[in-house]
Amino acid sequence: MKLKLNNWHFSRPDLAKTYLKLFEIGLTSARGLFARRRMGKTEFLTNDLIPAATADGYLVVYANLWDLEIDPATALVSAFYQAVQPLGFNKIWSRLKLPINKIKAAGKIGGIGEGSLEADLASNKRTTGTILMEAMKAFDKTKRQLMLVIDEAQVLAYEENAHFAHALRAALDVRKDRIKVIFAGSSETTLRRMFGVSSEPFYNWAPLEPFELLGPSFVEAMVERVNSISKYPLPLVEALDAFTQLRNTPEFFRRYIEHYISNPLDGSVAAVDATINKVFSDENFKQQWDALLAADKIILSMITNGVFDLHGKVTLQRLGALLGVGDSVNRNTIQNALRRLAHRNILTRIEHGIYQFEDEAFSDWVKHRE
């Protein structure tokens, strides 16, 4: 493991080879990886795993479903078709782009009629299922081995994407010898449901494991890089302490490094404080909070204050009172709120009826907000 000299990427070729070796052995055709957001998962996939797979002769298809969460079918089919049959992609794009244009114009629904958009999306998902089959047939004519890397794959487990997920599994089932799949995501709970619940399209389809997180060796490499370009050396012990204070989050640690390099005379402690104030700021959390529905806010406040029985009579009565609707709230209101919060990667279900925040800092902010 080493830091490339021309940028700040911490290369992990050994880890990439480990995943490729598992496919080479032939015991599995798919892997599921999970890690919280900002932990370096996407960077590893795009900068380490994909180049290694390409060097091994794989044709690689990468799709980040978070980029187009409302219509992941189009995101995935577009990426697949462009890789397998790039010259033919323009011919099928007109069959996909109408809902995409509507989504872009609407900023994900707001501004146009939701019913119209949902109808177009439903029609589009049927179209993408057909085009996926066409792309698979085009792939069948090649002699290549293909690796499909699906980032933020938990989006496939959303109920509205079930039809396409079934079509995708059917297409992959009969091509396990030539198509290897990496499912990577930021919601452990959703991925466990995706692969562990018998009613789900991808039930038992891939083993799920935690993504190997960055640690002291990453910090050491960053410090080595800083000290190679700065007149003011950064002590390793101070950098390691900063990494801990920033919740071992690589993205936040890089912001700390940036602040230190820009203001070296202020020292490491000042860089940590500035980074914490920026990434865990009241303003950032308030924006996240303001984007939520009233029921979602109430549920989060209950959880962070130790309420565990979210479906009990007392909780329903309290929610109804806070929403100003009396006793008319039913369990569907709770379920819909929990589903929205899980989709936003704010909550994770630990076990039946038990939820926790994905971001401990946000949980603390919710608990102590006025």
DSSP per-residue string spanning 297-353: HHHHHHHHTT---TTSHHHHHHHHHHHT-TT---HHHHHHHHHHHHHTTSEEEEETT
Number of Cβ within 10 Å of residue 337's Cβ equals 22
What number is the average pLDDT over the span 167-191?
92
Tokens 């992609």 locate to 89
In which band, very low, low, confident or very high, does the pLDDT at 69 lie, cut at 50, 70 and 90? Answer: low
In the predicted model, what is the mean pLDDT of residues 16-25? Answer: 93
Per-residue confidence at 81, pLDDT binned at 50, 70, 90? Answer: confident
- The answer to whether residues 194 and 153 touch, using CB atoms and an 8 Å cutoff, is yes
Condensed to tens digits (0 to 9), the pLDDT of residues 280-310 reads: 777 778 888 999 999 899 999 988 888 877 8
The pTM of the full predicted model, rounded to 2 decimals, is 0.77
User: If you average pLDDT over every residue of the chain, what do you get?
Assistant: 83
- Comparing CA positions, the residue from 8, 29, 4 lying closest to residue 19 is 29
What tens digit of pLDDT does each residue of 294-352 get? 989 999 998 888 887 787 888 888 888 888 877 667 788 888 888 888 878 788 776 66
